[in-house]
Amino acid sequence: ARGLNGFLDSHVVRGKRVVPMTCAAALMATTALRAHPGFHLVGVEALQLFGGLFADADVPLTLSMERKTDADAPLLRLGCRILAAGKPGYGATVVLSASKLAPPANVRVRSGGAKVSKLYDGVTLFHGTHLRHIQEAAIDGDVLTASCLNLSLDTAAAGQFESSRSAINGFA
């Protein structure tokens, strides 16, 4: 509802505040982790935008999870979907592991990555000040690598999306 989650004023599409895809991905990943105690997040893959989630109307949300791997597979893949009033908003595959994996070493944006002035052009990225954390990015095939800042939001701006409540703090 209006007045909550001030950062959404920086994520407006066609005049409506929309929940960012990264927040939806974090919700799916956090929910998957909480439903599978002892597992660790490997990644979020195949993120899909269906109709998005508009933040200015109170509608029932449903998050569904479906196992996509055999029970004895080394990684657990969960097909997740967020529905708003029964209509698909976002989807993704959340990948979990029973053992904690080492983070990738020396991940860097390759030379030739787009600079921030080119990213926030109102078309590629349209984010307002609360969400301008990407410094540079490069796309190689279907892989996006980005260098980001950690922007702090006060409690009023963060609202219901305050990151310390997330099991994967800081993902979004």
24/46 Cα distance (integer angstroms):
13
CA 40 to chain centre: 17
pLDDT in tens, 90-142: 999 999 998 887 766 666 666 555 566 666 776 666 677 767 777 777 777 77
Under DSSP, is residue 66 helix (H, G, I), strand (E, B) or coil? strand
Whether 76 and 95 have beta carbons less than 8 Å apart is answered as yes
User: From the CA atom positions of the chain, what is the Rg in Å?
Assistant: 17
pLDDT in tens, 24-70: 888 899 899 999 999 999 889 998 989 888 877 778 889 999 999 99
DSSP letter string, 25-63: HHHHHHHHHHHSTT-EEEEEEEEEESS--BTTS---EEE
**What phi and psi, each to the nearest 5 degrees, are found at residue 163?**
-70, -20
